[in-house]
Amino acid sequence: MTLGPVVVQSDMTLLLEVDHPEAASARSDIAPFSELEKSPEHVHTYRITPLALWNARASGIDATGVTNALLKWSKYPVPPSLLLGIEEIISRYGRLRITMDDTFGLCLIGSDRAVFEEVIRAKAVIPLLGNRIDQWTIGVRASERGRLKQALIKLGWPAEDEAGFVDGTAHAIVLRSDAFSLRPYQLQAAQAFTDVGNGVIVLPCGSGKTLVGIAAMAQAASRTLILVTSAASGHQWRRELIERTYVTEDEIGEYSGQRKEVRPITIATYQILATKRKGVFPHMDLFGAEEWGLIIYDEVHLLPAPVFRMTADIQSRRRLGLTATLIREDNRESDVFTLIGPKRFDMPWREVEDQGWIAPARCVEIRVELTEDERMEYALAESEQRYRVGSTARSKVAVVESIVEQARAQGEAILVIGSYLDQLEEIAKELAAPLITGGTAVAVRERLYQSFRNGEIELLVVSKVANFSIDLPDASVAIQISGGFGSRQEEAQRLGRILRPKADGRQAHFFTVVSRDTNDQEFARKRQRFLSEQGYAYEIIDAADIYDGGLFDLGDD
């Protein structure tokens, strides 16, 4: 009998032996209720957290399901104390419920008297409550539904919100079923949301999250507010809506720095909503400008704090979050859980790849040896400047040029992605390539993106403005020359730029160029953690070995 690939430890950590033949299956089973912490070469460390367990419970995985997965894959006997602890944590979800009573309005109901008495006496909870109704029930101030959920989860007692939602103003949104059909997992995701009316859908970049949102809009059949990361992302939503539904241009409004249109379907940027003037957020009134029946939060992992605060006030609206990863660098995942809703659907990246819906991807870290002058500059730099010095080293330029030359010879469509404008400007000049940054006019960006889609240009140099919601289906090679320190969600989004399935079935290539013996190398390892959890392995290649060609022969299927 083959022993399992997981070592289950009493401190709620799980050690996954990556080289085990059943490691992929085990990873798929434990990922819904644990979080990846470390991913070196041979053993990955996962941790079971309360939030992960509550997310699992909200999506239908109970304590028995978690226990069975651990017993199935564990290499050694599972500590009984850990199983008891898991059962206790999961049981905390749902002992408190928020409901809407026809007579008393919004109410908090307890099923455990001691827990109920404990929480309603908590200092953070008292101001949010109304009158006591009976021994199991207390009124909730209608405006405090979201803040109550935030307070309860901080106390360790997440409430199940059953209070329902207002329908909003009706507005028909009909899918063009003759022009396209939703993939099976997109249908499942849309239905998982529609069944409850709030929550987050987690799907890989390039897998069609926008279509899930549009399907949810069709089900809601009401006026919809769509929040996006940028004007370019908003334009993509507009294109998809017109192509996939019978919605007309006149029904779609843009609310951004350039325009302030409020229409039955309004697309607004997070940036405009988070703009503060004289101590107030003047554009937050958009949330109350219409009787919205649905609010969609695109790239919900980037939701800014002011929008969180506004979301706490609109808990009676249906809310859908879309993302490729629930990782937030500010550790506000619990706010997503309480204010947008629990994770309702999640599909592993590799499972979507295996079904042919996203391109297979090869991830390669190329380590560059710095010159003596560069090493000395790095050593003498102030600590807060060292990452910039290491990640923008001039020695990377020749490596990027070699990768681009070999990629062009293969007929690939190439993106060079970085975080520092001076580095990007230098690379763009060396490669004689167009450059897109935050300072590039929207019209120019759209023209360059369209030329790339049409095959008129095969190489773009882009800053972080291209991290999110940019549809470049033919992009097959990404070269990352600098990143956002240890940002795991940025790493996932950048890989996502090249995951659209290719017409000829070719593999995507994600190259990260890293300066050896600097914190550029350390941060690269941190950025890779999320993708490692999804089953992607990073090859490590010395830059000196790539100049003879053959870079695209290595690792090919």
What is residue 337's DSSP assignment?
Answer: I
Q: What pLDDT does residue 9 have?
A: 95
pTM given for the model? 0.85
Q: What pLDDT does residue 247 have?
A: 96
Q: What pLDDT does residue 543 have?
A: 92
Residue 19 identity (one-letter amino acid)? D
Residue 121 identity (one-letter amino acid)? R
Q: Are 222 and 375 spatial neighbours (Cβ–Cβ below 8 Å)? A: no
3-state secondary structure of 511: strand
Can you tell me the distance from the alpha carbon of 416 to that of 428, in angstroms, rounded to the nearest whole number?
9
Q: What is the DSSP string of 295-309?
A: EEEETGGG--HHHHH
The count of other CB atoms within 10 Å of the CB of residue 23 is 18
Q: What pLDDT does residue 117 have?
A: 96
Q: What pLDDT does residue 529 have?
A: 78
Q: What is the DSSP string of 104-140?
A: TEEEEEESSHHHHHHHHTSTTTGGGEEEEEETTEEEE
Residue ranges of E strands in 60-207: 96-101, 105-110, 129-134, 137-140, 160-161, 198-202
Question: What is the domain partition of the chain in residue ranges?
Answer: 6-91, 96-161, 184-347, 353-545
User: What CATH code is assigned to 353-545?
Assistant: 3.40.50.300
Q: Are 499 and 358 spatial neighbours (Cβ–Cβ below 8 Å)? A: yes
Residue bearing tokens 């996203």: 358
The architecture in CATH of the region 184-347 reads: 3-Layer(aba) Sandwich (3.40)
Residue ranges of E strands in 311-391: 318-323, 343-346, 361-368
Q: Over its length of 557 residues, how does the chain's per-residue pLDDT go in tens digits?
A: 568 999 999 999 999 998 899 998 998 899 889 987 776 668 888 999 999 999 999 888 999 999 999 999 999 999 999 999 999 999 999 999 999 999 999 999 999 999 999 999 999 999 999 999 999 999 999 899 999 999 999 999 999 999 999 999 999 999 998 878 999 999 999 999 999 999 999 998 889 999 999 999 999 999 999 999 888 889 899 999 999 999 999 999 999 888 899 999 999 999 999 998 888 899 999 998 899 999 999 999 888 889 998 999 999 999 999 998 877 767 788 999 999 999 898 888 888 888 899 999 999 999 999 999 999 999 999 988 999 999 999 999 999 999 999 999 999 999 999 999 999 999 999 999 999 998 898 889 889 999 998 999 999 999 988 776 677 878 999 999 998 766 777 888 888 889 888 878 889 999 999 999 999 998 888 888 778 777 788 899 999 999 887 788 754 44
Same CATH topology for 184-347 and 353-545: the answer is yes
Q: Are 506 and 359 spatial neighbours (Cβ–Cβ below 8 Å)? A: yes
